[in-house]
Amino acid sequence: MSRLQVFFLILTIILLLVDLYAFKGVWNLSRNASSVWKSVWRWGYWIPTAVTLGGLVYVFLNFNEMSENRDFGFAYWLVAFTMVFFIPKLFFSVFHIVDDLVHFVRWIVAKWQPQPTGEGVKINRLQFINQAGLAVSAVVFAGMFYGVTSGRFAFRFIKKNLRFTNLPPAFDGLRIVQISDAHLGSFLGKGKKEVARVFEKVNALNPDLILFTGDMINNYAIESDEWIDLFSKLKAREGKFAILGNHDYGDYVNWPDSEARNENLNNLKKNIAKMGFGLMLNQSSILEKEGQKIAIIGVENWGVGFHRHGDLQRAKAGTEDIDFKILMSHDPTHWEEQVVGKEKIDLTLSGHTHGMQFGLEIPTLGIKISPARLRYKHWGGLYKENDQFIYVNRGFGYLGFPGRVGMPPEVTVFDLARITG
């Protein structure tokens, strides 16, 4: 049995266990409903499960063919359908567990606590807990549904003004636009109109630099073919630069041989060049104005728990005498392990985490929550240690789950200023 088959088997078991347990709570809530509403509730509950299980069986039986044709559209939408209905049930199950625990504790207390003679102990379920769970599940369902239908295209522009004492005067006011984690294979040929509108806004900002920080594709170079024209329309006065992310190497595909893998990678490199980006493979580029210089350094992917193709020492060679340096590094763990406090790099731009495509951010209230924080210390936004900055872009596209819930796709705009006096 392959790893994929094992994954599907485990996923199916988990889905069924959660479904069965959550249904127990739904059954209790519908106990006093009319027979018609009982049928509506219960059929409405199990139909999505049946669709999901049928879809899993289809993918299980046809995955090899889907891989050969590189057509994962059905699988992506199955993931979306499953999560839209499964995640709310998971939330409901948490409330139902609390309800069962309270019921159990009350039963224990009633069993051992002396009662007045002739009076029985009546233990009712605390239906309000299940009802609260149902309400929360409805909100989660609405959020998941929005994330799949609209959230993945709800692009936001985040602007950051950064100030440095060592920024050369000639580069005071430098404007950088960062785009990261396009994952073009996930768009499945759709969303071009939305992306075109975003790129028009990018060009209207008149950026000096456009920096793409990795994961142009999911696995296959062909995913980027139809996007070349659109990406080539992005304009920046001082140039466009890109690096590779972990997905760009094709490491998650069972290639017939290393030659096929290398050909795929080379085709992606050619496509990125056709888009007008200078691809930085452990390299640097020096920008000069009025005799003053800054360095743009780009490393290949390097991350804790991932393949480490990056070589920072090689990438920054020749930049030793340049005071101000910007590093493009896909995975923020690279900053933690090899940059901050170790290298004289002023600003690092990363991506990779996507903010897990789930979360809640309300800057005015200081709320910044995402499951990504369980894995990454620096998972989204701007961080500073001493005089060194890292910004982790939450991503332009999406992967796995074709949606975004509370974690919109972003384009980041940096205006750099020199501190004087």
Amino acid identity for residue 420 in this structure:
T
At which residue do the structure tokens 């049946």 appear?
50
Alpha helices, DSSP H only, in 156-257?
192-204, 228-232
Q: Judge contact between 29 and 59, C-beta under 8 A.
A: no
C-alpha span between 174 and 22 (Å, rounded): 54
C-alpha span between 24 and 31 (Å, rounded): 11
Is-above-0.75 flag for pTM?
Answer: yes
Domain coordinates in residue numbering, the chain = 3-149, 157-418
Q: Which of 407, 191, 214 is nearest to 303 (CA)?
A: 214
Q: Radius of gyration of the chain from Cα atoms?
A: 26
Give the DSSP H/E element, type plus range, for residue 270: helix 258-274
Alpha-carbon distance values, 282 to 275, 332, 341 (Å): 20, 16, 20
Tens of pLDDT along the chain (421 residues)?
A: 556 567 667 878 888 888 888 888 888 777 777 888 778 878 888 888 888 888 888 877 777 777 766 777 787 788 888 889 899 999 989 988 888 888 788 888 877 876 555 544 444 445 788 888 889 999 999 999 999 999 999 999 999 999 999 999 999 999 999 999 999 999 876 789 999 999 999 999 999 999 999 999 999 999 999 999 999 999 999 999 999 999 999 998 889 999 999 999 999 999 999 999 999 999 999 999 999 999 999 999 999 999 899 999 999 999 999 999 999 999 999 999 999 999 999 999 999 999 999 999 988 888 999 999 999 999 999 999 999 999 999 999 999 889 999 999 999 999 999 998 6
DSSP 3-state assignment of 294? strand
Q: Judge contact between 389 and 383, C-beta under 8 A.
A: yes
Output the CA torsion sign for 393, 396, 401, 406.
positive
C-alpha span between 327 and 336 (Å, rounded): 13
Amino acid identity for residue 169 in this structure:
P
State the CATH class of domain 157-418.
alpha beta
Backbone angles phi, psi at 129, to 5 degrees: -70, -45
